[in-house]
Amino acid sequence: MASSLIRQIAFSLLCFCSLPANSDDESELPAFAFGWSNNDDTFDAGETATIKVIVLGNFDFAKHDFRFNPNVSVNDKVGNSCFVSGMALHLDGATETWSISFIPIMVGLFNVLVVDQHFRVLDSSLHFHVNPGRMYPAAGVVSWKDDRNEVTAGTRVELLILPKDAFGNNISSSSSQESVDQDDFTLFASTSEGLPANLTDIANKGRNGRGYLNLEFTAVTAGILLLHVQIQNQTLQGSPLPFKVNP
């Protein structure tokens, strides 16, 4: 009889010790919802995306052993990644002002997931779409059209510029076309000795079907030359381009 009583007491102590030390009563946990600020789920790369944190019910800090401190992942990558940067939680002050913000840096369609194990937030996901940002001059890539870098003096020469934003995204969408096409490109040529070479009839032909900007000019000076391409006093990647002009 005594041994049976001892076993029951030992079993009771074991069950008590196995309970979570900081378990909150799930019935007292507040519920959370999430939504895009201003219902805006489309951003340009480099803009700030803001998620509203909506607390449903009373949130009393004194009742809980843990603060609300969720993990935020974008396409299964927690925090900053190749998809977003500047991930920040704004969870101080009144709950009405709580939010999550980050800066999208890659173009595409993405899923963001907010998870907090302590408050049973396990399946709160939102989708968002990212377009390219404005052209970043130093990121643009210049090349000869059809790799044609040898011409006869007096003929037209064409080159292509692949515009990119500051994060390396190709700018090919119609929404970005106006901001790119109105930029003022500067073209000039020099000899291998650094002397100026003549170019005439420089023209911007706009964009082709693949999103490239198409510029052209007439080569005048014969020789082995270098073509310099700049925008806003910044040199594009790939410039200067070597080319040969035959008499």
Are both 127 and 151 inside the same structural domain?
no
Residue 123 corresponds to which tokens in the numbers above?
A: 């399946």
Question: From start to end of the chain, where are the E strands?
Answer: 31-36, 42-44, 49-56, 71-74, 77-78, 84-90, 99-104, 108-116, 121-131, 141-144, 150-152, 156-162, 185-191, 196-197, 199-207, 213-219, 223-231, 234-235, 241-246
Q: For every one of its 247 residues, what pLDDT tens digit does the chain have, with 9 covering 90 and above?
A: 444 444 443 433 333 333 333 444 555 788 899 999 999 999 999 999 999 999 987 777 777 778 899 999 999 999 999 999 999 999 998 899 999 999 999 999 999 999 999 889 988 899 999 999 988 877 889 999 999 999 999 999 999 999 899 999 988 754 454 455 545 788 999 998 889 999 999 988 888 888 888 999 999 999 999 999 998 888 999 999 999 999 9
Residue 42 maps to which CATH number?
2.60.40.10
Domain ends where: 97, 131, 165?
A: 131
pTM exceeding 0.95: no
Are both 37 and 126 inside the same structural domain?
yes
Would you say residue 233 lies in a domain?
yes
The total of structural domains in the chain comes to 2
Would you say residue 190 lies in a domain?
yes
Give the domain extent around 153.
137-246
Would you say residue 223 lies in a domain?
yes
Distance between CA atoms of residues 200 and 217, nearest Å: 6
Query: By C-alpha distance, which of 160, 155, 142 is closest to 245?
Result: 155
Would you say residue 123 lies in a domain?
yes
Query: Integer distance in angstroms from the first to the last C-alpha of the chain?
Result: 115
Strand, helix or coil at 5? helix
Would you say residue 16 lies in a domain?
no
Are both 141 and 89 inside the same structural domain?
no
